[in-house]
Amino acid sequence: MSTQRQKHLVLILAREFASNLSTPTLIADERGYLVFYNEAAEDVIGSRFGEVGELPLDDWLGAFDAKSLTGEPIPPEDRPTLVALDQRRASHLHYIVTSADGVDRELEVTAFPLFAHTEEFVGAVVIFWRT
């Protein structure tokens, strides 16, 4: 019998908020697991969240090759999602991703950490859009 990990109320509220946005948004928990992305994100990502499900964000991000607008590789630790998760601060970056389908997409990405209380980190919200 599998047990499902209970989500923090802040993550539940963030998911509800994201599901009502027309801006592509994803939610990651404090462990660095992708726990949700909204319908608006499906076009950029190339699949529905129900098809992908929860998985380690490192695995998920690894499917997207990131490079600067001048073509230089962007290390994972410099990407906004991991800055928000690892450094627990907001981050923004304009860059190009190449996903598994081989299509280059120029994106603006903003990520920020989620805290339930001053010292209680619960995850991150990532908002992105094509430019």
Residue 108 counted as domain residue: yes
Residue 1 counted as domain residue: no
Q: Residue 95: which CATH number?
A: 3.30.450.20
pLDDT at 20: 97
Give the residue numbers spanning the domain of 89: 9-130
pLDDT at 4: 60
Contact yes or no for 40/25 (Cβ under 8 A): yes
pLDDT at 1: 42
pLDDT at 3: 47
The CA distance from 7 to 38, in Å, is 17
Residue 26 counted as domain residue: yes
Residue 102 counted as domain residue: yes
Contact yes or no for 97/110 (Cβ under 8 A): no
The domain total for the chain is: 1
Per-residue pLDDT of the chain (131 residues; tens, 9 = 90+): 444 667 899 999 999 999 999 999 999 999 999 999 999 998 888 889 999 889 998 787 777 889 999 999 999 999 999 999 999 999 999 999 987 678 899 999 999 999 999 889 999 999 999 98
The CA distance from 66 to 6, in Å, is 32
Beta strands in 30-103 (DSSP E): 33-37, 55-56, 65-67, 91-98
